[in-house]
A and B are shown apart, each in its own frame.
Chain A
Amino acid sequence: MPRWRMPTRASAALAAAGLLLSGCANPSVGSANDDPAEPVTLKFWHGWATPGEVKAIDDSIERFEELHPNIEVEATGNVTDATVNQALRAGGDKAPDVVSSFTTNNVGQYCDSGMWVDLDPFMKKTGVDKRKVFPKTLLDYTSYQGNQCALPLLADAYGMYYNKDAFEQAGIKRPPRTMSEFERVAKKLTVRRGEDSYERVGYMPNFRLYQNSPDRLFAQWGPRYFDAEGNSRLAEEPATYDFLKTARRLAAAQGGFDDLEKFRLTFGDEMSSQNAFLTGKLAMHLDGEWRGLMLKDAKAKFDWGVAPLPVPDDQAETYGRGFLTGTVAGIAHSSKHQNAAWELVKFLTTDTDQVVDFANAIHNVPSTYAALDSPRLDADPTFRTFFKILENEHSEALPPSTNGGAYVLSLMDFAYSVEAGHVPDLRAGLRRLDEQIDADTLQSKS
């Protein structure tokens, strides 16, 4: 019997395993050689899920199919970013051609990884001048280092909803405009019940409440998250300290974090009729433009209004600003019909009538200059407050990162500890946070 030559066989097996493993790590690649006039079926994944939203996007697709009879669109709703991320990485013929995301957090990752293709060549080919179509902030949050891998598909602006009846009862004439005023008004509006509970809270600053993710309120300070080299600079940024201390002060003025957190746990689901603002448990509330339509549909039992969120006292001139984000759309790298897919993306994001109709239907802020100026746009003044926030020169979106929203997640984690009073040395904590964000970014790049 021949002797087994283990080293040779082992090397061969390892080489084969290596080849097999690296082969498995190579997802399918699409192409932009298709003729968009040829009959084709496009798969479109989006995140809209409520009946009204699904009807609005289905109506949009119907309008598109009327304009492009050769293109059929198979839409799939309620798709999360995690699903898009995993499906595009897995590849295969079931993967979508056109993709969308409800957040701008992951745009940097989509662009830098090549998962969503650069749309500039498509815009050039079809004569779309993006700078004339979209506001700059929206173009910034849909690109990463010059790669425009997404386009805005309506925008979201954040402001403050307030209970006018509660304001009247407390003798408050108008919504607060600066943070110190915010603190005073919030305290005045707070009505306690017993020792550790509430009838109503003026403004709940707790970062786990509904849309209160720390980056949203932080936008009122206009922070710079990264330096020119892309390193995290939250410890260097004076606004970070002021923001976190303000949040703590707001909580302290209304009974402290623990009592507020206990009260938060009694709130119903954000998107239900048990929403805490809708049930009168909150007098002021940070939220996006879509909430107005929901309040009307739910026939809120009180008079309510909308205003921009307050700004820091030393930046009073920036009042009117707010946090910006939005739905974004792009083309999957694995799509074999990228030219046809571009026709759908172009229609959804640049066609003025489409953008206006869709914005009116789902109460999102239009994302093109032409749509913002359209006389057909819903004239509701509460809705229009958010247009002004979008157009305010001081309004900000999150900067894209190659690591997606990982840095926002790290900031959230840190802010949760700060609000709970578990960070005795803020400067040291912020330095560690910067180090962690940089390490995560490096790990993502390496």
Chain B
Amino acid sequence: MPRSLTLAGPAARRRLRTLGFLSPWLIGFGVFFAYPLIATVYFSFMHYNQIKEPTFVGLRNWEYVFDQMPLFGPALWNTLWLVVIMVALRVVFGLSLGLLITKIKTGVGFFRTAFYIPYLAPPVAATVAFVFLLNPGTGPVNELLGAIGISGPNWFNDPDTAKPSLVLLSLWGIGDLMVIFMAALLDVPKEQYEAAELDGAGAWAKFRYVTWPSITPIVMFAVVTGVVQTMQYYTQALVAGKVASGVNIGPGSVIQPGYPEHSTLTVPQLVYSMGFQNFNTGAACVLSLVLFAIAMAVTSLLMRKRSGLLSAED
């Protein structure tokens, strides 16, 4: 038997068995992560229009993205703005809602359902509905505000309020975080609260010294997943921009995303535009790598700072 086919000793057998158990993950990791990542790096140095053979262009795509793509700056700024503001507000709002619902005595089921249901709405439908509700000309929100003498903002049609309007939409669909925080809050041992009360702790002290240390890993989980999701923010921003702009110039034509004035343009939208509308694969790969690097850096920083997702007692 050739040497390569022998199972030389228990160590080799153990290694093979380990590999066997790991193989589903290894295959998944290889096909859905390692290969795409290598391909993205490879194509970031190639000129490739998805028709002709790729040709090596060195750093040309990188120079193009960083020096000659005026939309890259606004897209990166908007993405980072959403990461900071949207994630922070979602965590604060989700936690506040969780605290509120765990405290109320009656109608818990109703409020829990009422706050969770918006999360189940399909993102496209929810966004279209929001754009119609907040239409400055015909939307009921501004009509109501007008009735009480307030001139409503232009919401999705003003570069200053378009991103805050997207944040508002994300807060409306806060159900996912609310449920996670509720579970975490209900898991805090009651005896600790009782002990704190005996020590004379008030509401803030109980939250600061009992609740917060117990739920920190869950908050960290919400922040890390929120950052990763927001770095990929695409559907709501694209739909809101397109619907709010009211532009429809026919099936052959392409519309630049980011209305109004690039204020809702995010890096993932730019990746799609570059890769699948302009077929500028190299630039799309560069943008994807930048996004990947930022997501990795932010996540590593958060994880290192909090020693992962484990609480102090673990």
Give chain A's interface residues, CB within 8 Å of chain B: 1, 17-18, 21-22, 24-27, 47, 49, 78-82, 85-86, 88-89, 101-103, 105-106, 109, 113-115, 208-211, 213, 261-267, 269-271, 333, 403-406, 409, 412-413, 416-417, 420, 422, 432, 435-436, 439-440, 443-444, 446
Contact = CB atoms under 8 A, between A and B. Distances in A.
B230 interface: no
Nearest to B71: A413
Interface in B243-266: 245-254, 256, 261
Given A86-B276, A113-B51, A412-B256, A443 B68 contact: yes
Contacts of B51: 27, 88-89, 113-115, 333
Interface in B176-206: none
Interface string B57-68: 100110010001
A19 to B, nearest CB: 11
Contacts of A209: 246
B249 to A, nearest CB: 5
A47 B248 contact: no
B261 A103 contact: no
Given A17-B38, A21-B43, A444 B252 contact: no
B106 interface: no
26 contacts: A18-B42, A21-B38, A21-B39, A25-B54, A27-B50, A27-B51, A47-B252, A81-B253, A81-B254, A103-B250, A106-B252, A113-B52, A208-B246, A213-B253, A265-B138, A265-B246, A406-B278, A412-B256, A413-B256, A422-B261, A439-B68, A440-B278, A443-B60, A443-B280, A446-B47, A446-B57
B130 interface: no
B314 interface: no
B253 A405 contact: yes
B65 to A, nearest CB: 10
A82 B57 contact: no
Given A208-B247, A264-B246, A416-B261, A444 B49 contact: yes
Interface string B25-63: 000000000010011001100011111111001001100
Nearest to A49: B251
Interface in B124-139: 135-138
A296 to B, nearest CB: 21
3 nearest interchain CB pairs? A103-B252, A102-B252, A266-B137
Given A103-B253, A105-B253, A114-B51, A208 B43 contact: no
A269 B248 contact: yes
Contact of A81 (B246, B251, B280): B251
B307 interface: no
A418 B117 CA distance: 43
Q: Which of B39, B251, B252 has the most CB of A within 10 A?
A: B252
Contacts of A101: 252
Q: Which of B60, B154, B247, B250 has the most CB of A within 10 A?
A: B250
A323 B207 CA distance: 67
Contacts of B12: 1
A105 B54 contact: no
B157 A81 contact: no
B53 A26 contact: yes
A213 B39 CA distance: 37
B49 A113 contact: yes
Contacts of A412: 256
Given A114-B52, A420-B261, A89 B279 contact: yes
Nearest to B258: A413
